[in-house]
Amino acid sequence: MLLLREEHAVEGAHEDAFEATMRDEWLPALARGDDARLYYYLNLAHGSGLSYRVVTYSVIPDGAAWGRLVERVAGGDLAALSEKLDGLRHEVTAGLYISLPWSPMGELELADIPAEPVEHDLTLFMEDTVHPREGRLEEYVERAGAHYAVEFDEQRSKRPQLLEIQAAWRAAYGSQRRREVILWQKVVRPEQIAGLLTREVPARYKQPGLWMLDALEWRDQWQSRLLRTSSWSPGA
């Protein structure tokens, strides 16, 4: 399974038109056939980054389906609709990702993903993008599962946590930067976000044996984004 992550720099005046086109036209058009399904439609929360940024994730079964999708956009049935979306945004950047072995989400089946809008409450996600040190990518992937994910579950068993790990992906070969890992986490206690922003990380989380400190061996910096689903996003 491949995940196509696209980041759209939408023109502010066309924000609503862009979303309507994605919901009413792109979503069902993409679902024709067995090449791909739109899974997430997310808005970068205002105040947490550049304005009018939309992130979408689409599920693609395999490389052959990816090739067919490229042809559909380049000159097939999705070409005109892709150009229509281009007229509502400044640019779009994209990358292909695959699931890590320990990712809770696992493989997604196209048949299980709605091909039409599904109304639900808004959901907030934290998307952490990590670039492990040169030559340490495989070690980071292994340790993130054996250390971070396990530690995370242990902490949740003791007290309610801000986040819930739902997926973990790495950049596919030939896509974007090779050393790129995305940790996909649902914000399950949004009332705790203010504390995350206004207080330092408690010293108890920076002790030897804990991921916050130990992970510095494999990575130094990461980027966090708060992304909010639209009410119709197939993935909630």
Contacts of residue 189, defined as CB under 8 A and 6 or more positions apart, other chains included, come to 160, 161, 162
Q: What is the pLDDT of residues 183-227, one digit of tens each?
A: 999 998 888 888 888 888 888 878 898 888 888 898 988 999 999
* DSSP type of residue 45: P
Query: Is the pLDDT confidence value at 103 over 90?
Result: yes
Nearest C-alpha neighbor of 117 from the set 26, 34, 225? 26
Query: Is the pLDDT confidence value at 176 over 70?
Result: no
Average pLDDT, the chain: 91
Torsion-angle region of 165 (φ positive above 0: left; ψ -120 to 50: alpha; else: beta)? beta
Q: What is the pLDDT of residues 52-82, one digit of tens each?
A: 999 999 999 999 999 999 999 999 999 999 9
Q: Is 226 helix (H, G, I), strand (E, B) or coil?
A: strand
- pTM summary value: 0.91
Instruction: Decide which of 159 and 39 is more confident.
Output: 39
Instruction: Decide which of 166 and 157 is more confident.
Output: 166
Q: DSSP assignment of 1-16, as one string?
A: -EEEEEEEEE-GGGHH
Could you tell me the domains of the chain? 2-119 (3.30.70.100), 124-226 (3.30.70.100)
Burial of 145 (0-12, 13-18, 19+ CB in 10 A): middle
Phi, psi (deg, nearest 5) at residue 68: -65, -40
- In angstroms, the Cα distances linking 97 to 81, 112, 173, 206, 224 are 24, 20, 9, 30, 17
